Amino acid sequence: MSAPVQDFCLTLLVSLFTLVLVASAYVRYCYGYWKRRNVPYLEPKFPFGNSTSLFPKGISIGAVTRSFYDKFKSMGHTVGGVYFGVEPKLVVLDPDLIRDILIKDFQNFTDRGVYQSESDPISVNIFSQPGKEWRNVRVKLTSVFTSAKMKAMFQTILDCHEGLEEALKELARQKSDVDILEVIGCFTTDVIGSCAFGIECNSFKDPDAEFRRMGRKLFNEFSLADRLNLFLSIYAPNLAQKLGVRNIQKDISRFFFHSIKDTVSHRERNNLRRNDLLQLLIDLKNSEMRLSMNELIAQVFLFFSAGFETSSSTTSLALFEISRNDVAQKKLREEILEVLAKHDNKITYDAIAEMKYLGQAVDESLRLWPPVATITRVCTKSHKLQDTGVTVEKGTTVLIPALGLHHDPEYWPDPEKWDPDRFSNENKDNRRPFTYLPFGEGPRNCIGLRFGLLQTKIALVTVLKDYRVSLSPKTILPLGVDPETFVLHNINRVYLLLDKI
C-alpha cells in the first residue's frame, strides 16, 4: 500500500472512531436526562430507548405505555421517565397530577405534539394544531357537536343502519363466522361518509369502494416509505418540516382533499342543504366565524380519522364482551326491546338515551378497551408538578396511560372482568376521578364524544334487538393488542356467530 493511501485509510479510521465516540457520548448524554433531573426512570436501550420499535405506526403506542404504567406503579412512583429513541417522555400515573395537566394547569399543556406539515393542508387540523391555532378552531367547532345538533343529525346516522340490518340478515342466514370489526367498519364508514362528507358510501354493497379502501389504508397499511416518514415526523419533526415530509400518505390526502372540495362546491352551487356535520362546517365557513376552505377540509378529514377506527373498535369489542356474557346479553336485550316497545318499535334519539344498561355496557367496554390508549400533552410552559419535586421542561411530551389506569386493580377490583355494573349510578359516584379517560379530559378532550357514543349505540341496538351473539371458535384468544398502533388494534380478529331471535 502506498504512503498516501495509508494516510488516507488512517485518517478515515480516526474520523470514524471519533464519530462513534462523539455519537455514543451524545446518546449517553441524552439517556442521562431523567437521572440528571432526579426522576425515576426505566433503563433505555439504544436505539429504541424504552419503545419496542423505532418505526411505530403512530405517535403514542398504547400497549407500550401500559407496560410503563405497570412498572412504575409496582415501584410505587407517581411519575417516571422513559425514552422513545433518544427523546425523553414523562409518564404520569397519579390521578391528581393528571387532573392538573389536563384541566387545572391546562394553559401549560395546550399541545398534543402531533406532527403537521404546511405542505399537506389536511394534516393541519384540530387534533394536531398547537395551542393558539387550536383554540381558534376548537371554539368554532364546539357548536357543531352540541346535543341539539346531534339530535338533529340523528336521522342521518340512522339511515345508515339499514345497510347494517341487511348485511346481518344475510350473514345470519349463511350461518357464517362474522368478522365483526369488518362489518362494523362498513357501518361506521357509511355513517362518517354520510355525516362528514355528505356522500353515500354503500360500503356493504361495495366493500372495496374507494372510501372504505382509504379508511383501511389510513390505519392498517404502512409501506416502508410511510414508516420512514412517520419515523422522521416523530423523532425529528424539525428536520421533517424542512424536508417537507408528509405523515399522511399522499394518495389518501389527495383523495380526501378533492372529494370534500367537490362536495362543498356542489352543495354551494346548487343551494343544497343536508342535516350533517359537513353542512354545519359549510355554515361556519360562510358565517362571521370564517372557517377557510382548507381548514374545513382538514377538519372533515380529521372527523373521519378520529371517528372511524375509534367507533368501529368500540362497537366490535363491546360485542365481543357481550358475546361472552349471557346474563348481561339477556339483560341488554330485555332493556332494548322494552324501551323500543315504548317508542313504537323505532330506534329514536330519546329511546337510545333511555337505555341505561346499554350505556353502562359501552362505558365498561371503553374501560377495558380504550381505543386511544394513551393521552398525550406537550408542556408549553415549564411546570412544577405539585410536591413531586419534578419540573416538566417546556417541550417535554407527557404520556398519560389510560389503558394502564383502566386496568389498575387499585381503582378497578378484578380489572380484567367486563362488568357493566361498575358504571351504575351508585358505583360511578364512588369512583376516583381521573382514573377513567376513554375520551380524554379537559378543554382538549374528544369533541366527537356524543357522536361516537351515538353511532356505537345505534349499531349495538341494531345487532342485539334481532340476534343472539356468541363467540365463534375461530376467534383466537387472548385477542392481544398490537403494541405499535396509535388507535388500539387487536392482534387476533373477533369472529361472532349470529342467531336470529
Work out how close the CB of 138 gets to ligand HEM at its nearest, in angstroms, rounded to a whole number.
5
> 3-class DSSP state for residue 310?
helix
Give the residue with the Cβ less far from ligand HEM, 67 or 305. Answer: 305
86 or 218, CB closer to ligand HEM?
218
Q: What is the dihedral of CA 84, 129, 200, 336, to 10 degrees?
A: 70
Instruction: Please work out, in degrees rounded to the nearest 5, the angle formed at the alpha carbon of residue 242 by the alpha carbons of 239 and 247.
Output: 75
Closest distance between ligand HEM and the C-beta of residue 13, in Å? Answer: 50
Greatest Cα pair distance in the chain: 97
Grid cell locating 246: 408528509
Q: Please state the closest distance from residue 454 (CB atom) to ligand HEM, in A.
A: 9
Residue nearest to ligand HEM (CB): 440
Residue showing cell 394502564 = 404
- For ligand HEM, the closer CB: 195 or 385: 195
In the complex, the smallest distance separating the C-beta of residue 276 from ligand HEM, rounded to whole angstroms, is: 11
Per-residue cell: 464: 342485539
Minimum distance from residue 357 beta carbon to ligand HEM (Å): 18
Cβ of residue 91: shortest distance to ligand HEM, in angstroms?
A: 15
Q: Which class for 350: exposed (0-12), middle (13-18), buried (19 or more C-beta within 10 A)?
A: exposed
Q: Which amino acid is at 290?
A: R
Do the bridges between strand 375-378 and strand 79-84 make them parallel or antiparallel, or are there none, so unpaired? Answer: unpaired
User: Please, what is the minimum distance in Å from the beta carbon of residue 269 to ligand HEM?
Assistant: 26
- State the minimum distance, in angstroms, from the CB of residue 21 to ligand HEM: 41
Strand ranges, E, within 215-348: none
- Binding residues (CB under 6 A) for ligand HEM: these are 126-127, 138, 302-303, 306-307, 310-311, 314, 371-372, 375, 438-441, 444-448, 451-452, 456
- Which grid cell sits at 451? 357522536
Nearer to ligand HEM, 126 or 186 (CB): 126
Closest to ligand HEM by CB, 86 or 446 = 446
Q: Which is nearer to ligand HEM, 291 or 497 (CB)?
A: 291
Nearer to ligand HEM (CB atom), residue 368 or residue 372:
372
* Residue 414: all three cell numbers together: 378484578
Compute CA distances 117 → 217, 238, 310, 478, whole Å: 20, 10, 24, 39
| Residue closer to ligand HEM (CB basis): 335 or 441 | 441
- Cell, residue 308: 372511524
Cα 397 to Cα 323: distance, rounded to the nearest angstrom = 39
CA distance 327 to 462: 19
Closer by beta carbon to ligand HEM, 86 or else 488: 488
The label of the residue with cell 354545519 reads: 280
Shortest gap between Cβ of 351 and ligand HEM (angstroms)?
A: 20
Dihedral sign for Cα 334, 340, 343, 347, please: positive
Contact 448, 302 (CB under 8 A): no
